[in-house]
Chains A and B, each alone.
Chain A
Amino acid sequence: MSIAATGQPVAVERLSKRFGEVVALDDVSFEVRAGEFLALLGPSGSGKSTVLMSIAGFVRPDAGRIRIGGRVIDDLPPHRRDIGMVFQRYALFPHLSVAENLAYPLRRRGIGAAEIARRVEEVLALVRLGGYGARGVDQISGGQQQRVAIARALIFRPAVLLMDEPMSALDRKLRQHMQMELKLLHREVGATIVLVTHDQEEALSMADRVAVLDEGRLRQIGVPEELYREPADAFVAGFIGQANFLPYDAPSARVAGFASPLGDALPAGGAPHCARPAIGVRPEDVTLHPPETPGTEPCRVVEAAFGGSTQSVLVAVGGHRLTARMPAGSRLWRAGEEAGLRFRPASCRVFDLPAHQPSSWSNGDED
């Protein structure tokens, strides 16, 4: 495949950008290795799109620089950057056919008609759209439009492929299918990909590494397992997967309001010093037992939801509420039942809660 192995490394160095009073990016730095698939993950307004637009050259950062393949590209206009981009709504040219859309970047590079025809056929085959070249872009389905957009961004063998929420226009089923397709395509082509998304599931399942942004700052960057198991702060813990947060009383080494100490639930080495310490614990690390089981904290089941392979149980304990998730096979809990609660060994992490976060909360279901 002639499109293969064109990926270049990308280095984002100390990027900052303000839009009027709003700080969009605050000293953001990270690197993408050649051929790596990196996801920029964050809620809306986190600055992830600004990073993407800065790499593409549509936003000029106030400070910082961007290198591609070691070369600083800050002064290059967008059309000279050689970066493929898949836009959120694809931005396929409505006045051109599928093949003309694909040929567009090659024409701009002065490539001959025969070579263009050959490469258009090749890329159509790559995204399994052979025979669709003559169609208008409004005569194909949403999933097909997305594949055309990806093919158009890859056909000129760009150094980097940027994708701005490419799955957001697709329905859930098609989205899961396309995520798998895109992973396969990435392996086949070997391009460096930077994908922007607000969907943590999408980021975790597709990317080699994930960079989490919030309020213009890079919170953490790492492989998906690392972000899930060792979140750097309460925001990452809450944004990637689900987490319960409970106020932590450092002197007595227990959750405020709990009768029993946390014991081996805390990782070795104890807790760092924080202004508003809280422990974070994942629902699957919370287990429920019959009432008055030794070593458990007495609690009451507020609501229970059966979810096929698992059951989610909302319990009230020591003036707090938290969610536990267990295999559905064990024992189904009912609202109103009394129970005993325990945390798995080394499952709790101590975080410093930001001022705007309530001291006891459990973040909602994903999506």
Chain B
Amino acid sequence: MGALGLGQALSGGMAGRRHAGGGVAAMLAPALALLILGYAAPMGAIAWTSLHRGGTMGLAAYAEVLGSPTFFRILGGTLQTAAVVTLLCVVLGYPFAYLVATRGRRHAGLLLALVAVPYLTSILIRSYAWIAILGGNGLVNRTLLALALIDEPLPLVFNAMGSYIGMVHVLLPMVVLPIYAAMRRIDPALPLAARNLGASSPAVFATVYLPLSAPGLAAGGVLVFLSALGFYITPALLGAPNDYLLAQAIEVRVAVLAEFDTAAAQACVLLALVGGLMLLFRRRIAGLAEGEDIVAAPERTRAGAGLRRRTLGAMLQRAPRLRALLAALADRMGACSGPALWTFGLLLLAFLLAPIVVVALVAFSSAPYLAFPPPGLSLRWVEAFLDDRRWLEAAAFSLAASLVAAATAVAVATPLAFALARRRFRGRQFLWLLAVSPMIVPHIVIGLGLFFTFVTVGLNGHPASFWIAYTVTGIPYVVIIMLSALRRLDVDLERAAASLGAHPLATLRTVTLPLLAVAIVSAFLFAFLTAFDDLVIALFLSSPRGTTLAMRMWEDIRLEISPKTAVVGVLEIAVLVATMLGTALVQRLRRTGYRAA
């Protein structure tokens, strides 16, 4: 296919219709090849390994796993943890999203950025910060002891409590952002109409806001639950040492026991659980990624809610006094809900940002060990980091692998997103799920599969294995961000360019790509951060040939907990904030630039 055909295929010009078949294939092929190599094949390798013991095929591994009460205890514990974390996230995240969407619109950008910054910092570094905050010698216990509220430190970490706190902190933004997006889609005239029709503000909330934002709530909840099922780092660092979740159990079987077949069988069970739920809730997840048109319109059945409302209404009808009392109460609540919401919101932001502040302080601590608050300030840990060749080498390796993988993900997944957004072809929905699912399938499963695959071909630990792995984990972010940007891009702009005489490739260069530039940059950033922050996949791929910075930090946290990890955290956050500010600045300059010109 010539350059003309490619340009037309990308810009969706009708004149390229004759090349359409070839166009779609060319747009899909690179992403598909990497997804097969780095994702489908590893899943196959897990299934194959789980079905083979000692060279013979059979269900021995499954029989052992499913016959073990320990496995079911772990599975039950995992489901329970995921459920509790989901509930906490929804209960905390919904009012916060409501606050931002209704009362904080002027500061929405800032508030959401404050939510996003911890989301984008390494889970490893955040878990490390929680140890500093919640540990026996940490911030919370010291404060309480100093205030003489307690006599001895509370067990806040290295137990279920620590696990919950750490996981909620990681997953909260995942529920806040979709709920906020759903709330922003609510026509602002609707609550006013409800007020005008006689609803008190709590009634407006219950009858208009809640039902209309429910799809975002459900989507966020599903995503949090699925992610929590495969959690590894947070429970491993903050949870009870002897209370494994499923992901930890799998890792132990591989790393400590070397029982590959049962590890694979457990991974298959986890994969079946996540995959099944993912297929069951694919509409919700698609709605979350604004990919509604790909999977079908989200259904709008709220029969249950209608029933409840009717019976409640009937009850109130029979008790006029109760009704009046409730109405008065509702008016009161309406009056004081603003300050209460803001207080809650600020507390939640403090919760979200506390680890970052702590990391920054610990990084410049003069203490020879993790202590908070630090006894004094010094640059000794910054120097220690800069003097440590092993850490610097690992940092360089991580940086290189993540940059190359993020660039590859953008390069292969952008054409894929174009094809998904603009072409109609068979298997489109399947392809979307395939490309997006590495975001939802637990990385412990992906890592295990990559390990089996790369060991077979002798690539394990080779930089190429990291490149393939991190490209696969970056593709979902690129696809989701680019699809959403393409949906917002007015096709008439490209048509206008064509009518003004622009060749399809010129249209791509002068209109389409400049308008997608911000999306491309953020897609790259997300793909890069996912790769750079990864620990779980590196646990399986690392070797003397290649070790990532996350692996160094992980070993460090497990062995000695020196503030060197905090130094990395500070560097990472600084780069992140600089990038976010830089993007915002470029956008603002571009907007005001014309006036100066």
A residues with CB within 8 A of B: 56-60, 77-85, 87-89, 91-95, 97, 104-105, 108-109, 134-136, 138-139, 152-153, 156, 162
Contacts and interface: CB of A to CB of B under 8 A. Distances in A.
Contact of B495 (A58, A94, A97, A136): A58
Contacts of B490: 89, 91
A134 B594 contact: yes
B495 A85 contact: yes
Interface in B480-516: 490, 492-493, 495-504, 506-507, 510-511, 514-515
Q: Is the interface of B mostly helix, strand, loop or mixed?
A: helix
A60 B8 CA distance: 15
B13 interface: yes
Nearest to B597: A134
Interface string B427-463: 0000000000000000000000000000000000000
B591 A136 contact: yes
B595 interface: yes
Contacts of A57: 14-15, 498
A77 B507 CA distance: 13
Interface string B509-530: 0110011000000000000000
Highest count of chain B CB atoms <10 Å: which of A56, A59, A77, A135: A77
Given A60-B14, A89-B490, A139-B595, A152 B500 contact: yes
B492 A91 contact: yes
A9 to B, nearest CB: 19
A81 B502 CA distance: 11
B504 A79 contact: yes
B17 interface: yes
A58 B14 contact: yes
Contacts of B15: 57, 60, 77-78
B595 A78 contact: no
B208 to A, nearest CB: 30
Contacts of A84: 499-500
Contacts of A92: 496
Contact of A85 (B496, B503, B507, B591): B496
Given A79-B502, A104-B500, A136 B594 contact: yes
A321 to B, nearest CB: 34
19 contacts: A56-B499, A77-B8, A77-B15, A77-B504, A78-B498, A79-B506, A83-B499, A84-B500, A85-B496, A89-B492, A91-B496, A93-B496, A93-B511, A104-B500, A104-B502, A104-B510, A134-B594, A134-B597, A138-B591
Contacts of A136: 591, 593-595
Nearest to A76: B15
Interface in B578-592: 590-591
A136 B588 CA distance: 12
B92 to A, nearest CB: 37
A104 B510 CA distance: 9
Contacts of A89: 490, 492
B593 to A, nearest CB: 8
B422 to A, nearest CB: 13
Contacts of A91: 490, 492-493, 495-496
A79 B498 CA distance: 4
A172 B115 CA distance: 44
B14 A59 contact: yes
Given A79-B506, A105-B501, A136-B591, 6 more contacts: A77-B15, A77-B498, A87-B495, A89-B492, A91-B492, A153-B499
B511 A78 contact: no
Given A79-B502, A95-B515, A134-B595, A87 B492 contact: yes
Contacts of A93: 493, 496-497, 511, 515
Contacts of B17: 60
Q: Which 4 A-B pairs have the closest CB atoms?
A: A77-B15, A105-B500, A78-B498, A91-B496
A93 B512 CA distance: 10
Nearest to A158: B499
Contacts of A77: 8, 13, 15, 498, 504
Contacts of A105: 500-502
A108 B500 contact: yes
A272 to B, nearest CB: 43
A118 to B, nearest CB: 18
Nearest to A162: B499
A81 B594 CA distance: 31
Interface string B12-53: 011101000000000000000000000000000000000000
A2 B380 CA distance: 73
Contacts of A104: 497, 500, 502, 510
Given A89-B490, A108-B506, A156 B495 contact: no
Contact of A108 (B503, B514, B591, B597): B503
A88 B13 contact: no
A78 B8 CA distance: 11
A270 B148 CA distance: 108
B516 to A, nearest CB: 10
A97 B500 CA distance: 16
Contact of A95 (B13, B500, B506, B514): B514
Contacts of A88: 492
Contacts of A80: 501
Contacts of B13: 77-78
Contacts of A95: 514-515, 590
A139 B591 CA distance: 9
A89 B514 CA distance: 20
Given A87-B492, A93-B493, A94-B515, A79 B595 contact: no
Contacts of B495: 56, 58, 78, 85, 87, 91
Given A60-B17, A134-B594, A108 B499 contact: no
B178 to A, nearest CB: 27
Contacts of B590: 95
Contacts of B501: 79-80, 82, 105, 108-109, 156
A83 B498 CA distance: 10
Contacts of A85: 495-496, 499
B563 to A, nearest CB: 45
Contacts of B507: 79
Contacts of B595: 134-136, 139
Contacts of A56: 495, 499
A289 B511 CA distance: 65
